[in-house]
Structures are given as C-alpha cells and as structure tokens.
A and B are shown apart, each in its own frame.
Chain A
C-alpha cells in the first residue's frame, strides 16, 4: 500500500502556482526524503496533506484515506511543520500533555517521547528558555507522541549540534527500520543522503524525480579535481585540456575534470604536455548535492520562480 498518493494535485496562491498537477505514489515504510529548491512547493504539499490548506485541484490520499477527510488519518500521522511551535511559558511536559489530551493519547506516552529525544531532566523548565536545538527535539517528541505510522518532519535537524544531528539521524533510521514511514523535508542534502531510502525531488511544484535513493546515486559521476602550481596557468591548462577532448569546468581554486580514477595518470601527462605542473590531483565522486543541483539548477528557487498563472494559461 502506498503511504501517500497524489493525482494532479494543484494549489495556486493568486497568480503563483505552488503545486502544478503533482502526481506521485510513495511506498510505505522507510525514510523518504522530500527535497527541492526554496519555493518548490514542499511546504505547500505538506500543509495540504495535513489539512491545513486545501488544494485548488486534483486529489491525494494519506495512508489510504482521502485528504478531504483528514480526521480519518491524522491520529496516525506525526508532524513537525517548519519551526517547532509551543507555548513558551509552559514546560515541555505541559505542552506535550496538552497535545496528548487533544490527540487522545495516554499520558504515559509523554514520558516515553521525552526520553526518546533526550529531554528528561529538562522537562519542567519553560520552553522559552530552550535553545533552537532543544525546541527541535521537543518538536520531534510532539511528532512521535501518537506513535504514528507516518511521520512528516520538516527540517528535523535544524538548530541541532553535530551530536544531536547524529542522534536524530539514528532515530529516523530506527523508525524506518521499525516499519514506520518517515518523510523528511530538508535542505541539508547530506542528511537526506545519509538517512533516506527513497527520494522525491520537486521543482516549481512539479515532480522531478521519485524513486529509490540508490537509483539517484547511480547518476553520480567520478571526477578529478586538479590545480595548477601557479594560478595564472589555470586558464591555459583549461584551454589545453578542452582542446585535448577532456570535459572540464572551473571548480573551487582549480578545475574539475569528468573522468574516473583510471585516467588520473593520463590527465597528469596531459597537463605536463601543456607545460603546467599540477599542485593537486584528487579523485572524487559527485554527491547528492551535485546531482540535485544538476537536476534543479544552481539558482535559488524563489529567485527563479517566474512561472505565474498567466504563463501556464498561455501554455
């Protein structure tokens, strides 16, 4: 059974199209990464699934139930939408108790989730004294409160220190292995790459990719980063390599050549033949971030967001 299915899901905000006939079908169980540039429609999609806003067109279902009746599935869904939101003058425990009562969850779960996110011992202080990372932990605790089948977490590691990030990463993996489905929306692609089994990429409200993480990572290419001994030799080296048939682009302080490790010696010889001595030669592989940028573009999504309703209507 799919955990989440959308068919032609569309949402317009005036002239802006936030979701553009989005159709996808996500598998249940495992950790699913939802990524896209700013303004790509991720938050709009999450808000529609939670019943916070209504779609302009199309349909969707969550855990097999239509989004037109969110009350049929919200008890099985835990959420952390954007920044964690609580009443600052109340303690984490009181905030969670109020949510537990609202959701009809036994109050014993409050202790369980506080322990799960490491907040036992700090659970009676006012939330307003908490750092962003502590609030983030509390937000995750709130999402886990109903022991949900589906967790939707927007930037779950936002504000956490490195140890906290590792801890939450492991928690997400555990939840995925335990048969729950966790949808993680994040800009930190290294996080997504580290924990997700499945990846969804959206851009301008349209689906760019949906499939196993392994399938995306197959698109990685090996490359060799090189640097000339003297900066002024970089441009002549680039010209010489391009003339020699290499695929080369400027990179941080040097050049990036699309080639595998087996061609490193050839590349070094080509540089020598061009009269340039290399001070650096390192073999590497594209990561998810580079694949993502290749698929979605290298400019902030909101800055390039010029697809207004009129454009689509004309089309």
Chain B
C-alpha cells in the first residue's frame, strides 16, 4: 500500500496544480477574514441560506476562538476548492488521457489504487489546511485591529484553539474531498464532478434552506460547516461528525464498488 501512496504522491507533485490549490486556500482565508471582521464589526448579519459562508457574532469574534473563526466561516468555500482538486486528481488526466488503463494494468487490485489515492490526497489536504490556517492567523490579527474588534482574548489557550480549528477544518475538508473523489469516479470526469459539487452547494442546498419549514440540518454543507465550526446551534459537533462519517462511508462504498467492478474502457 505504501508503494501505491508514494506513486500517487509523485503524480500529485504537479507544481501548477498545488500552487493553484494552496493559492486558493490562502486567498479565501485572507479574503474571508477581511470581509468577516468588517461585516461583524458593523453589526451585520447574513440572510438565512447565504451560500458558502457563516459569520460568527461579535462576541464570538472577541472570544479566544475568534482568532480562528475565519476557517469555520469559510469552510464551505475551502470545501468546494478541496472537492474540485480531489476531483481533478481523480479524473483529470486519468480518464481523458487513458492513464487509468496504465495504472490498472500495473496494479489490478483496484481497491488498492483507490485507497492509495485517498491516503495521498488526505496528506496533501493536510498541507492545504495548514496553508489556510497560517494565512488565517496572519490576516485575522491586523484585520481585526483595523476593524476595531478586541483581540485581547485571542492569546488564551492559543495552541488548543489553533489545533482544534485545524482538526475541525481538516475533517470537514477530508469529507468534501472524498465526495469530490466519489463524484469523479462515478462521472469519470473532473469537470462534471466540480459542476455537481459546486452546483449542489450554491444552488440546491441554498434553495432547500430557503424553503420555509424544510428540515435542512442534515444537509451536506450544513453538516460539514458544523464539523468545521466544532458544532453549531442547529447541529451538535458529535452529530455532525457522525453524519459526515455516514456520508463518507456511503460515498466510498458506492465509488469503491463502481471503481472495482466497472470496465476500464477509457
């Protein structure tokens, strides 16, 4: 299995792909912190169902965990980026160029190929999460200061706050990524996987939330946002993690069966 993971990591070592992935994570971390502090300090609140982001209250921003609030606030945006890059790494050159033929011919135990790819992508996702966390910390402090938000409590339990935020975001992004991989395996196309993923988050889930009375706490974006936030008023952390695990298990089961059994005709 180690050989498969190392092989996959070599293929993932595409400078442009990684630069775009990490660059987008850094960009969103910087952007969301800048917008968030301005918005929160001005007493604004987002309308229900606003796609992609969930801003904290001013009190939450001024608490010790306020330093890392940007990661949770933008978790869905980070999630879409992660979903997209997992989809590209799964289906990008693989099905369009026929690389999948070469790989399956070299390692016919297809479940190994799939597991190796997931492990390799989880490792790269850890780096991407770290990039987002570092940029978040670098931008949050001066942005909060400029917006007049008190940062006096931000040094309290710093290691725990940062570590918890990192782990929660990483768990959420891992689920986003796995779902990108699942859709890419099923669709055999990165573009289709990204369209479906982004379309779901920005259109389908937002529309469901906007329909009055419709139960929406279990929806994917809501669930993963709760995981990234360490739990929300609507959904407890433990419930969110359990739901996320259920989504991942179901998706991997489906993708695994299809990937192992399907003819490689591309």
Contacts and interface: CB of A to CB of B under 8 A. Distances in A.
Interface string A56-75: 00000000000000110010
Contact of B105 (A74, A87, A90): A74
B157 interface: no
Nearest to B261: A54
Interface size class of B (residues with CB under 8 A): 20 to 34
Contact of B264 (A53, A71, A94): A53
Interface residues of A, number: 30
Contacts of B100: 85
Most chain B beta-carbon neighbours within 10 Å: one of A54, A102, A142 = A102
Nearest to B110: A51
Nearest to B8: A98
Given A53-B265, A71-B109, A101 B102 contact: no
A54 B264 CA distance: 10
B17 A82 contact: no
B103 to A, nearest CB: 7
A47 interface: yes
B14 A89 contact: yes
A122 B100 CA distance: 24
B102 A51 contact: no
Nearest to B105: A50
B107 interface: yes
A102 B93 contact: no
Contacts of A88: 93, 97
B209 interface: no
Given A90-B11, A101-B3, 12 more contacts: A47-B265, A50-B104, A53-B265, A54-B263, A77-B105, A81-B102, A85-B97, A88-B97, A89-B16, A94-B13, A95-B11, A142-B102
Interface of A: 47, 50-54, 70-71, 74, 77, 79, 81-83, 85-90, 94-95, 97-99, 101-104, 142
List 10 A-B pairs, minimum CB-CB distance, nearest first.
A102-B7, A98-B10, A85-B98, A101-B7, A70-B108, A52-B264, A51-B108, A53-B263, A85-B99, A85-B97
